[in-house]
Amino acid sequence: MSVAIVTGASRGLGRAVAGELAARGWDLVLSARGAAALEEAAAGLAPGARVVPVAGDVSSAAHRAALVAAARELGGLDLLVNNAGVLGAEPLVPLAEHTLDGLREAFEVNVVGPLGLVQEGLPLLRAARAGAVLNISSDAAVVAYPTWGAYGATKAAGDLVSAVLAVEEPELRVWWADPGSMRTRMMAAAEPGEDLAGLPTPEEVAPALVRLVERALPSGRYTAGELAAEAAPGVGPGVGPEAGTGAGPGARR
C-alpha cells in the first residue's frame, strides 16, 4: 500500500487531495495546526484507508519528525504533499505596509517547513519504488500582482527549491503545481471583497493534481488548468513540465 504525507489537510485543497488519494487506496499521514478540524477531516475520508492525523505546525522540526515517523509506521513514504501555507498578512497589503514578522512567518511555513519535511522524509522517499514530492505553488510566484508580493515571494522561493531538488534528486518525481484560484478560506482572507462564487472548489481542482501521481509525469512545474484540459475529451498531446513559466493572470491562489 502506498503512503503519503499531506500537510494543511484539515480543509481546502489539502483535505481535497487527501480525499482523492484515500479514494485510490492510499494510506495517509495528515498534518494541520488545528487538532479538532484535522480529526474531523481524517474521519471523513474513504473507509478502509489507514489515516493517521498528527496535529502540529510544519515550521516545527519536532512536528516534521513526528509526521515522517508516522509514515514509517505505515510502511514508508511514497509521496509528500507540501500544501500547508500562510499569507503573511490577512487581508493582503502592499509591500510598503507588510510587517516583517508576517513575512518571516510566511517564509517559515511556506519555504523552510516544506524543505525541512523533504529533508526529514528523503531516506524513505529514496527507498520508495517511485518516491515523489508535490509542492503546492501559485501563479503569484511568477506574476507581479499588487498586494501578493510577500506571499508570492515565498512561492517563488518554493518553486526554485523544487526545481533544484528535482535536479539534485533525479530518481524522485518533484512537482511544483499551481492549483489556480479556488473558493477557499485562504482566498477569502486574502481579498475579503472579492466575489469567489465563480471559482472552483478545492474538490473540483484536486483530481487534476492527483493526475501527476497517477501518470508519474516528469518533474517540473504544472498548473491544474493544463492538467485538467489535457484530461478532457478531444484534447491533444499530453502536458509537459512548465519549466518555471507563469500560468497567466487570474489564476492566483
**Active site positions, annotated:** 151
Amino acid at 162: S
3-state per-residue secondary structure call for the chain:
CCEEEEECCCCHHHHHHHHHHHHCCCEEEEEECCHHHHHHHHHCCCCCCCEEEEECCCCCHHHHHHHHHHHHHHCCCCEEEECCCCCCCCCCCCHHHCCHHHHHHHHHHHHHHHHHHHHHHHHHHHHCCCCEEEEECCHHHCCCCCCCHHHHHHHHHHHHHHHHHHHHCCCCEEEEEECCCCCCHHHHHHCCCCCCCCCCCHHHHHHHHHHHHHCCCCCEEEEHHHHHHHHCCCCCCCCCCCCCCCCCCCCCC
C-alpha cell at 53: 492525523
CA distance 246 to 142: 5
CA distance 186 to 138: 13
